[in-house]
Amino acid sequence: MALSFFSFLFFFTCFSILQVPFFSTATLHKAALFRPKITTQLDFISKNDTPTTYFEVTKPIKLPKTKSCSYLVLKHDFASTYEKPPVQANYTPPSNCSSQKFSKIVLEWKAKSKGRQFDRIFGIWLGGVEILRSCTAEPRPNGIIWTVKKDITRYYSLLMTNQTLSVYIGNIVDSKYTGVYHVEFFFHFYPADKELILGNSGADLILPISRNLPLNDGLWFEIENSTDVQSKEFKIPQNAYRAVLEIYVSFHENDEFWYGNLPNDYITANNRTDIAGNGAFREVLVSLDGDVIGAIWPFTVIYTGGINPLLWRPISGIGSFDLPSYDIEITPLLGKILDGSSHNFSFSVTNALNVWYVDANLHLWLDKKSVKTEGKLLEYSSSPLSFSLASNFTGLDGSFATNAHRSISLTGWVKSSYGTVTTNSSQSLSYNNNIMMGNDANLQIVDQKVDFNDTVYAKTRSFPVQVLESFKKFRFHLYSDGVEIGDQSYASISNVTLIFNEKRLKRSKYGSSASSVHNLQKAQGYMFLKDQSIDSGLGSTQQTYKYDDDYSGCYFRNISSSNYTVLYDKVLNSCSKLST
């Protein structure tokens, strides 16, 4: 009985705490209580086979035609690194490059692993500023390799100064979990073309809103429950005229699959207090000196070992190799923090269970023509969360409908050498989640929709300076069915759909531009599990990715894989041939 429900909760991946011991004497249901993780045995793989290459489908980074100056930033083998200080290196900006002006900077992560290992969350920080949050791929006996490329040009000012680089992966190697991550990563600096001198787009200063070293794990804050508030004091230069807070977030252990967690009254009524609850709604709240100034309703990233690890091989889940970060325009609040004293950003997660990793980067633009800007917050409105839950269950079966809405709006002016600009920044978020439990909780169906709108209007007394709008639509669907087939063995099937869509609009007196991403992934699979390892199974994935913008044009990819093999992979660099 009650299998898929537990099987779903069974797959706790991108692990961060010490592996719990395995349960030779415990029953499978008891095993669920301890939230074990799974890896793949797949003995049919010959050790002589060549390594498998894993990848996440995303758009290629548009590069200038110049030759890059490339630097190996770190080479390290991450073996038993759990609860050890982050691996560190001294970073110095490029000094021997033909040019000192760059129009693109790219981080390239290359890793290899072989054997058996869980997926592990990791972070890279430069001077405490997070520049990549990612998850490792799960190795195979024949070995795997994977590469992550990320455009890090927005961290330009940081990359032009000496910094301490920190990398944390909490890996554990023992006789069964043998996978060591052999990592090399590079920064590629592309000198600006003559006609392509870097516009003043990157911030002049980026302050870390993360934990201070020394630490024995990541520089992220760990948020363990719904009342846990983590905060950081900071002070900004008094000549800032624009500020954007960029937030990194990932969810683990009891909340790795928060969108499938059930309400506590269901858990109590069924006497299953041992499983993860608090319902299916989560949000990261950001406060400034105690007032909520922004909310993040995160995309449902599934790590490389999530639900059924075979679904994500070789095509990894959306966002799993490069987790999205989220920007909040906080320019209207500058009036509150330009006073030269310390202030606090704090983070909490509504309904959180252990554990959420959250930190932020404060991007600041400084007025080079003055030592002091002025500002005032004119209007602040942050309505309480509107929330509803309708539960209808008998025993272990039933349905749960959760709806939520939140809006936050900030208006304030800043006076700098650019004039007095009034900025209105607002967020409007809606959430809808439906869960169905059937077949005595062998079956779980989850449908979640998040709409996440951000708008920024900046104007001088008489005319608009700039309008930035972002409309995000995140969708998640899971169909999961399971059956116990013996002692500590069971079979399950699961179908997953992930959608990450975003449309951005930008208007200013110089014109307007638009860009959009439509990223859709469907995956289906089954597996037979024994003792936390997949004995056999199959995973298939289909993905379409479309990116369109007024400057770089359109990129479209339509790809599919099954049983580790790519079935088709079509790339178009122009979308004119696409039917809508």
List residues binding ligand NAG (CB under 6 A).
44, 69, 71, 92, 96, 162, 224-225, 227-228, 231, 233, 271, 289, 342-344, 379, 392, 409, 411, 424, 426, 428-430, 451, 453, 455, 471, 479, 495, 524, 538, 544, 558, 563, 568
Q: Which is nearer to ligand NAG, 434 or 455 (CB)?
A: 455
Q: Which is nearer to ligand NAG, 216 or 342 (CB)?
A: 342
The span from the CA of 189 to the CA of 64, in Å, is 10
Hey, which residues does 465 pair with through a beta bridge?
none
* Phi, psi of 332, deg, nearest 5: -60, -20
Encoded tokens for 464: 């608009």
The span from the CA of 280 to the CA of 181, in Å, is 33
Burial label, 187 (beta-carbon count in 10 A; 0-12, 13-18, 19+): buried
The span from the CA of 437 to the CA of 266, in Å, is 11
Q: Where are the beta strands (DSSP E) in 487-578?
A: 489-508, 511-530, 533-549, 553-562, 565-572
Task: Give the shortest CB-5-to-ligand NAG separation in angstroms.
Answer: 16
The span from the CA of 198 to the CA of 100, in Å, is 11
Task: Give the shortest CB-45-to-ligand NAG separation in angstroms.
Answer: 7
Q: Which is nearer to ligand NAG, 19 or 344 (CB)?
A: 344
Q: Which is nearer to ligand NAG, 379 or 550 (CB)?
A: 379
DSSP 3-state assignment of 43? coil
Q: Which is nearer to ligand NAG, 12 or 457 (CB)?
A: 457
Q: Which is nearer to ligand NAG, 101 or 176 (CB)?
A: 101
Q: Which is nearer to ligand NAG, 135 or 137 (CB)?
A: 137
Task: Give the shortest CB-364-to-ligand NAG separation in angstroms.
Answer: 18
The widest CA-to-CA distance across the chain, in whole angstroms, is 74
Task: Give the shortest CB-304-to-ligand NAG separation in angstroms.
Answer: 19
Q: How crowded is residue 90: how many other Cβ atoms within 10 Å of its Cβ? A: 8
Q: Is the peptide bond before 314 cis (omega within 30 degrees of 0)?
A: yes
Amino acid identity at 534: I
Task: Give the shortest CB-174-to-ligand NAG separation in angstroms.
Answer: 28
Q: Which is nearer to ligand NAG, 371 or 578 (CB)?
A: 578
Residue nearest to ligand NAG (CB): 428
DSSP 3-state assignment of 314? coil
Task: Give the shortest CB-175-to-ligand NAG separation in angstroms.
Answer: 26
Task: Give the shortest CB-344-to-ligand NAG separation in angstroms.
Answer: 4
CA geometry: angle 336, 338, 340, nearest 5 deg: 115
Task: Give the shortest CB-471-to-ligand NAG separation in angstroms.
Answer: 5
